[in-house]
Structure 1
Amino acid sequence: MFTIEHEFDATVITLVDEGEDPRDYLQEDITIQTFDDCVVLEQVDDQTDEINRIVFSHAQLRELAAALNLPEGVYRLQTKPQDKD
């Protein structure tokens, strides 16, 4: 399950781990905040109660999304030239 909320300066997505089997160990919620200049992932460490935070540039996030569907290797994303009006 996930939620999407639009705030003043960010869109916030929260991913809730529901588990596929009732015996699964569930992970803490992951919060994704998208800003104009970066994307921030946060998750509470259930052992220390501290927030783990990762900050991505939008380019890094695009590369991560592409990498999830590619086989092992080294890649560089190419940007498409935009049409000039």
Structure 2
Amino acid sequence: MFTIEHDFDATVVTLVDEGAAPLGEDVIVQAFEECVTITQFDSRLDRDVVVTFSMSQLRDLRAALNLPEGVYRLRQVE
């Protein structure tokens, strides 16, 4: 299950794990104009952990999900 909310400066997607136990903590994705953050509570650390992607890192991740193993560099189309 997931939810989508549009805030003033970001779109927020929350991913809820509904599979078989043990379940993972909710994942919160916030898309801003200049970056995307992913937040998840880490019970071992007893705090939220945040990862920030620049827009170019996010573009690379999107491409990587559809490519075989290897090393790549995306070129910008002019």
Q: TM-score, normalising length from structure 1?
A: 0.84
Paired residues for 1:1-85 under 5 Å:
1-19=1-19, 22=20, 24-81=21-78
Distance 2:3 2:46 in 1: 22
Give the count of matched residue pairs: 78
Q: Distance in 1 between matches of 2:5 and 2:41?
A: 19
Structure 2 portions without partners, runs of 5+: none
Q: Distance in 1 between matches of 2:32 and 2:23?
A: 28
Structure 1: state its 5+ residue gaps.
Answer: none
With normalisation by structure 2, the TM-score equals 0.91
Deviation of 1:2 (Å): 1.1
Identity percentage over the alignment? 58
2:18 alignment partner AA: E
Distance in 1 separating the partners of 2:16 and 2:51: 18
Larger radius of gyration: 1
Shift of 1:49: 2.4
Instruction: Work out the CA distance in 2 between the residues paired with 1:36 and 1:56.
Output: 12
- Counterpart residue identity of residue 53, structure 2: F
